[in-house]
């Protein structure tokens, strides 16, 4: 294959290399077209992160312009040959939902659709924001034993008609088998998820006859840790080693968050995906990143594993992440290795048609002929902004959940009775309660609520005078330190090593750039 100016110039017996050509030896590997994730939600820098894992196109299924616009501008700049390599993106912009409907909890404030009369102006507003397809939400919460407002069928039909008038495909969020049949009859083009409850044979036939496609999103179950307490993505060495330390820390923190008992096993969604596929429904690979446990780019490789586990052949799973989403979303210049197509390319070690996990063994990635470099993302402003945005969004969602359901466990401040001085916090986790300092460092092990309170009251202030161990995220070794000054989002440290090169008063670190622990750490995990 020869690539010229970001396009595939020739395939097959290569012509003689021209002067100045760079020659890549792909011996022993497999060359794939760039992968496409058909269901993501944007966060700052996600297109750069996705590209490092071989995902060269992301299809956003609900984001707001304040996130879309800078990410699209950065991708446009990258595609012009400037700045770090980024995946291309397509977006629905804001999805159509009823007032107070899903996902208000994450995206409010946002424009709503109150009835059929709102359909055409809503669609035209999304087109004005650069939407390439329309997202509609049909979910009354019954799939999760909730009761939330939802669009009615007449409004969905009006939205579909308005979108199709402008040439936009329509993607529908539903969570139940019954909902999938309803939106299929309303004329939508794509289901955003495999239903979470088992479909009957009749429901499978009804959806298949309507000609809709399906985005699988089987990776949603990766938001729950395995029996060993490790998030599934971190249990894949080839993927975990490619994640930056900041993202590994995000996933590790998510593994300890409070969760209701009984994690879903995803069996119904897998069975539905296979049944629909066998009925002739086109299946697209999509992850729903950045939901808990999911990371842009990395999680698509897990999605391919889930598709194979569901019963698809490895070659079918690869098609679900390449040519099928390109076809469904009208991306005619990608998804296949053909002359004239975009030079979005992934070079792997091994044969993914025999072993789907070979997609994780990434050797090199190119977007429009430019090579993506993992080192350009690690520690970059894009990485920092993305994780900060995710943390802020998560805090907003958690607060909204607590406001709606006050009985759900929530972090609590622990203060000294005599003067109200903040001593630390107790935080609910999947295994109990964790005592933490005022700046979030763990004190002791996860325990009962009362024991965690006692730990904070006993150690919350006195431990600050003890030696601590710190490791900046750009370093591999832990070093002993003293805490000189503490703020909620940063600390000033002084290394105890008398030979350390440091200011006399110590050095400030943002907590996002530092691992801190009270006890001498064990040998750090090597990925």
pLDDT band at 388; cut points 50, 70, 90: very high
Q: Are 451 and 495 in contact (CB under 8 A)?
A: no
Structure tokens at 164: 């199709």
Q: Over the chain, what is the mean pLDDT?
A: 94
Residue 146 has pLDDT above 80, yes or no: no
Interval 433-446 mean pLDDT? 92
Identify the weakest region by mean pLDDT among 12-26, 239-253, 294-308, 487-501. Answer: 12-26
Query: Environment class of residue 461 by beta-carbon count within 10 Å: exposed (0-12), middle (13-18) or buried (19+)?
Result: middle
Residue 13 has pLDDT above 80, yes or no: no
- 176 Cβ contact list (under 8 Å, min separation 6): 142, 143, 195, 196, 197
Where helices occur in 171-226 by DSSP H, the ranges are 177-185, 201-210
User: What are 312-326's pLDDT values in tens digits?
Assistant: 999 999 999 999 999
- 260 or 275, higher pLDDT: 275
Q: Say how many CA atoms lie within 13 Å of 17 toward its Cβ.
A: 7
pLDDT band at 58; cut points 50, 70, 90: very high
Per-residue pLDDT at 15? 63
Structure tokens at 327: 């076809």
Per-residue pLDDT at 14? 64
Residue 408 has pLDDT above 90, yes or no: no
41-341+372-391 folds as: TIM Barrel (3.20.20)
Q: Which of 19-28, 351-360, 371-380, 505-514 has the highest mean pLDDT?
A: 351-360
Q: Are 34 and 334 in contact (CB under 8 A)?
A: yes
- Can you name the residues that pair with 10 across neighbouring β-strands? 2
Rounded Cα gap, residues 51 and 345, in angstroms: 10
Per-residue pLDDT at 403? 85
- 526 or 453, higher pLDDT: 453
Rounded Cα gap, residues 285 and 321, in angstroms: 5
Q: Are 408 and 402 in contact (CB under 8 A)?
A: yes
Interval 450-465 mean pLDDT? 94
Strands 514-517 and 468-472: antiparallel
Each domain of the chain, given as residue ranges in start order, spans: 41-341+372-391, 408-517
Identify the weakest region by mean pLDDT among 239-248, 360-369, 385-394, 517-526. Answer: 517-526
pLDDT band at 145; cut points 50, 70, 90: low
Per-residue pLDDT at 61? 98
Residue 299 has pLDDT above 80, yes or no: yes
Interval 438-464 mean pLDDT? 93
Per-residue pLDDT at 22? 87
- 64 Cβ contact list (under 8 Å, min separation 6): 93, 94, 107, 110
Interval 441-454 mean pLDDT? 93
User: What are 186-203's pLDDT values in tens digits?
Assistant: 999 999 999 999 999 999
Residue 524 has pLDDT above 60, yes or no: no
Structure tokens at 53: 């894992």
pLDDT band at 526; cut points 50, 70, 90: very low
């Amino acid at each position: 294959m020869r690539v010229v100016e970001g396009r595939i110039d020739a395939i097959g017996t290569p012509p003689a290399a021209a002067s100045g050509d760079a020659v890549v030896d792909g011996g022993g590997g497999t060359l794939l077209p760039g992968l496409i994730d058909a269901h993501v939600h944007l966060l700052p820098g996600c297109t750069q992160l996705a590209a490092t894992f071989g995902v060269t196109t992301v299809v956003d299924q609900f984001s707001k312009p304040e996130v879309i616009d800078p990410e699209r501008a950065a991708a446009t700049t990258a595609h012009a040959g400037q700045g770090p390599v980024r995946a291309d993106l397509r977006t629905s912009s804001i999805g159509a939902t009823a007032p107070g409907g899903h996902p208000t909890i994450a995206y409010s404030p946002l424009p709503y659709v109150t009835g059929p009369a709102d359909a055409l102006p809503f669609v035209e507003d999304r087109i004005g924001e650069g939407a390439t397809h329309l997202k509609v939400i049909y979910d009354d919460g019954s799939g999760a034993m909730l009761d939330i407002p939802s669009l009615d069928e007449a409004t969905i039909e009006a939205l579909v008609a308005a979108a199709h008038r402008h040439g936009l495909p329509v993607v529908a969020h539903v969570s139940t088998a019954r909902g999938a049949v309803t939106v299929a009859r309303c004329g939508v083009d794509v289901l955003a998820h495999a239903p979470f409850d088992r479909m009957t044979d009749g429901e499978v036939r009804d959806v298949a006859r309507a000609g809709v496609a399906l985005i699988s999103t089987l990776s949603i179950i990766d938001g729950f840790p395995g029996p060993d307490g490790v998030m599934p993505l971190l249990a894949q060495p080839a993927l975990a080693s490619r994640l930056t330390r900041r993202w590994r820390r995000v996933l590790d923190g998510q593994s300890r968050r409070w969760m209701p008992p009984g994690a879903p096993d995803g069996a119904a969604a897998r069975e539905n995906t296979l049944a629909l596929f066998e009925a002739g429904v086109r299946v697209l690979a999509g992850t729903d990143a950045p939901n808990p446990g999911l990371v842009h780019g990395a999680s698509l490789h897990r999605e391919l594993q889930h598709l194979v586990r569901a019963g698809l052949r490895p070659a079918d799973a690869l098609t679900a992440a390449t040519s099928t989403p390109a076809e469904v979303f009208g991306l005619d210049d990608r998804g296949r290795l053909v002359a004239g197509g975009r030079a979005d390319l992934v070079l792997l070690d091994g044969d993914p048609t025999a072993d789907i996990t070979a997609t994780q063994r990434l050797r090199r990635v190119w977007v429009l002929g430019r090579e993506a470099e993992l080192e350009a993302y690690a520690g970059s402003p894009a990485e920092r902004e993305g994780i900060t945005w995710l943390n802020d969004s998560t805090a907003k969602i958690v607060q909204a959940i607590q406001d709606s359901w006050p009985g759900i466990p929530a972090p609590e401040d622990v203060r000294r009775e005599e003067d109200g001085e903040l001593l630390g916090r107790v935080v609910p986790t999947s295994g109990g309660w964790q005592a933490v300092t005022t700046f979030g460092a763990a004190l002791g092990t996860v325990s009962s609520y009362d024991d965690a309170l006692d730990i904070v009251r006993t150690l919350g202030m006195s431990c600050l005078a003890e030696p601590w161990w710190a490791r900046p995220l750009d370093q591999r070794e832990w070093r002993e330190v003293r805490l000189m000054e503490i703020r909620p989002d940063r600390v000033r440290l002084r290394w105890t090593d008398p030979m350390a090169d440091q200011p006399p008063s110590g050095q400030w670190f943002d907590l996002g750039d530092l691992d801190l622990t009270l006890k001498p750490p064990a040998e750090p995990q090597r990925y």
